[in-house]
Structure 1
Amino acid sequence: MRLALAFAALSAVAFSPASAQAATATATAKANVLKPLQMTGGGTVDFGTIVTPSAATFSGTFTIDAAAAQTSTFCASGFACSGTRAAAMFNLQGSNNANITLNVPTTVTLTLQGATGTPPTLIFTTRNSVSATNSGTGNYTIQLPNSGQPGRDFYVGGSVTINQSTAGGSYQGTFTVTADYQ
Structure 2
Amino acid sequence: MLVSVRKILFGAAAIAAFGLCSTGAQAATANATAKANVLKPLQMTGGGTVDFGTIVTPSTASFSGTFTIDAAGSQTSTYCASGFACTGTPAAAMFNLQGSNNANITLSVPLNVTLTLQGATGTPPTLTFVTKHSLAANNGTGNYTIQLPNSGFPGLNFYVGGSVTIDQATAGGSYQGTFTVTADYQ
User: 1:139, 1:163 → 2: CA distance?
Assistant: 30
Q: In the TM superposition, what is the alpha-carbon distance from 1:173 to its structure 2 partner?
A: 0.2
1:157 equivalent among 155, 161, 164: 161
The count of aligned residue pairs is 181
Deviation at residue 57 of structure 1 after TM alignment: 1.0
Which residue number in structure 2 is paired with residue 138 of structure 1? 142
1:18 alignment counterpart: 21
Give the match's secondary structure for 2:101.
coil
Structure 2 equivalent of residue 79 of structure 1: 84
2:121 alignment partner in structure 1: 116
| Per-residue deviation, residues 112-154 of structure 1 (Å, max 9, x unmatched) | 00000000000000000011x2121111111111111000000
- Equivalent of 1:99, from 99, 104, 117? 104
Indicate yes or no: 2:152 matched with 1:148.
yes
Cα displacement (A) at 1:10: 4.6
Deviation at 1:5, TM superposition (A): 5.0
Structure 2 counterpart of 1:18, one-letter code: C
What TM-score do you get using the length of structure 1 for normalisation?
0.92
Look up the match of 1:129.
Answer: 134
Aligned counterpart, 1:32: 37
Matches within 5 A, 1:46-61: 46-61=51-66
2-structure distance, mates of 1:49, 1:35: 42
- SS of the residue corresponding to residue 96 of structure 1 reads coil
> 1:25, CA displacement in angstroms?
2.9
Paired residue type of 1:149: F
Question: 1:177 corresponds to which residue?
Answer: 181
Seq. identity, %: 77
Higher helix share: 2
CA distance in 2, matches of 1:33, 1:9: 59
Gaps of 5+ in 2: none
Provide the alpha-carbon RMSD of the alignment.
1.7
- Given residue 65 of structure 2, which amino acid in structure 1 is its aligned partner? G
Q: Which amino acid aligns with 2:161?
A: G
* Displacement after TM superposition at 1:56 (Å): 1.1
